[in-house]
Amino acid sequence: MSTLLSPETPAYAVPEANLVPVSNHLGSMLAIPPSRMFLINKSLKVFQEKQPGVPVFDASQGDGGASLPGVPEALLDRAFELQKQHGTAYDMPFGTDAYRKAVAEQYWKLAPETGWGPANVIGTQGGRDGLVKAYQAMLALGHGRQGDVIVVSRVPWISYNWGPYGIGANVMWAPGRPEEAWSYSEEGIQACVAEAAKQGRKVAGLVITSPDNPTGQTLTLERQIALGRAALEAGVAFVLYDWMYHAVTDGGMTDVNALLLAFEPALRSRIMVLDGITKCLGGSNIRNCHLLAPEAVVKMIVAQASHTVIPSFFSLAVAMAAYEQGLLNAAAPIIEPTRASRAWLKGYLKEQGLTHIIGQGYYAFIKVADSLEAKGWADSEPMGQYLAENHGVAIVPGAFFSPYGGEWVRFSYATPRERTQGAAERLVSALNDLKK
């Protein structure tokens, strides 16, 4: 029988054996910088003041509701009806049973032989929330330690650098070459595991993004499976597949059943998939995302989410309304213009002789080394503000993502074709002017 301390005596909330060990590492961590990507397009106002009436082009973000139509009003109306029927009481940390069922059965159509179903779905308040919860599970259930490693690509989405770091993981950029769009290789993944081991660290997770942000690089499902298997067999604790852009590809949605069934149950229990409506449905500010994850991960995330972030029902309801209609039908106002822009841009960049990467998704990654050299800039960071203020076109400097993207810029073609064409022509004109 336990003996309680006197109420006048300070007492820890957990047993002494479970206390967090004292460490001074927080004082020596690098300060996490705010993302500058949301600020680039603000510089367009300077151009508009200098040249009123001249069109400007925002190719910096793929933002439904801004560069493309947002969630259709009919879906918002249906979501509001669901909200009124549901009420405003607390929901479960994973969302609701109806949402789980819609994701598993209407959206993914999970096959019984995978052993996965609604109980493997966790609703999250947007992609960043889902990612942070995944990282926490990787650390806790992987090797049970802070300071272990999350491996990402050589030129990753900027928040991949800082999201893991903020919760106690060290981010490692995998080997990769620009001529191969910095893609992972089996040897590169093994090298990451070996490099981490030199400092007594282990790899808690590998993130595979396809289509990729920022490069647009797109991997076949077979290649994604091969890389995931190589990682797990090398000792990586978990592999997370980030498929936020897959529905806007020319080929449509990736087959999650084929992914899951490619791994035997023991390895399948170390796989996660992230997806949501931010990109394909233009729901940037709806903040709906979900994780598909094995039982142990779900149990941990749900327990922790009960004390932290529970997804709002309205965000779940918008997704449910889209899944009722069929996501590809509901998302047609986003998908069709993006595909048309992609088809035109592929030809245009080739015609202009620009070194570039353009797979699927929302983005093209364009090399601008000649223009940087002519201007005397060390990398593409100053180019973002310069292009917006002086040429009326906003892009994102590749240097924002990692130093290895320093000679590149990210160009979003998630706009109607005529806007993509105007932005691309303005960009090429500006790059040529810089070289004069």
> Which run of H or of E encompasses 123?
strand 121-124
Q: Which amino acid is at 428?
A: V
**What is the model's pLDDT at position 62?**
78
419 within a domain of the structure (yes/no): yes
Average pLDDT, the chain: 95
Q: Which amino acid is at 191?
A: A
**What is the model's pLDDT at position 2?**
58
Residues 354 and 428 in one domain: yes
**What is the model's pLDDT at position 142?**
97
Instruction: Give the residues of the chain that fall short of pLDDT 50.
Output: 1
How far from each other are the two terminal CA atoms of the chain, in whole angstroms? 83
**What is the model's pLDDT at position 66?**
73
Q: How many angstroms separate the Cα of 342 from the Cα of each of 279, 359, 366, 410, 411? A: 15, 9, 14, 14, 11
Q: How far apart are CA 174 and CA 191, in angstroms?
A: 8
> Which run of H or of E encompasses 58?
strand 57-58
Residues 135 and 49 in one domain: no
Q: In terms of residues, how long is the chain?
A: 436
35 within a domain of the structure (yes/no): no
Q: How far apart are CA 210 and CA 198, in angstroms?
A: 30
pTM over 0.75: yes
361-386 pLDDT, tens digit per residue, is: 999 999 999 999 999 999 999 999 99
Residues 84 and 156 in one domain: yes
Q: How far apart are CA 386 and CA 10, in angstroms?
A: 58
The residue segments making up the domain with residue 261 are: 73-327
CATH number at residue 216: 3.40.640.10
Q: How far apart are CA 341 and CA 296, in angstroms?
A: 42
25 within a domain of the structure (yes/no): no
User: Using an 8 Å Cβ cutoff, are 150 and 208 in contact?
Assistant: no
3 within a domain of the structure (yes/no): no
Three-state secondary structure readout of 334-382: HHHHHHHHHHHHHHHHHHHCCCEECCCCCEEEEECHHHHHHHCCCCCHH
CA 133 to chain centre: 13
Q: Can you list the alpha helix ranges (DSSP code H) found in 34-185? A: 44-50, 73-86, 97-101, 127-142, 158-166
199-221 pLDDT, tens digit per residue, is: 999 999 999 999 999 999 999 99
Which residue, 264, 296, 327, sits at the end of a domain? 327
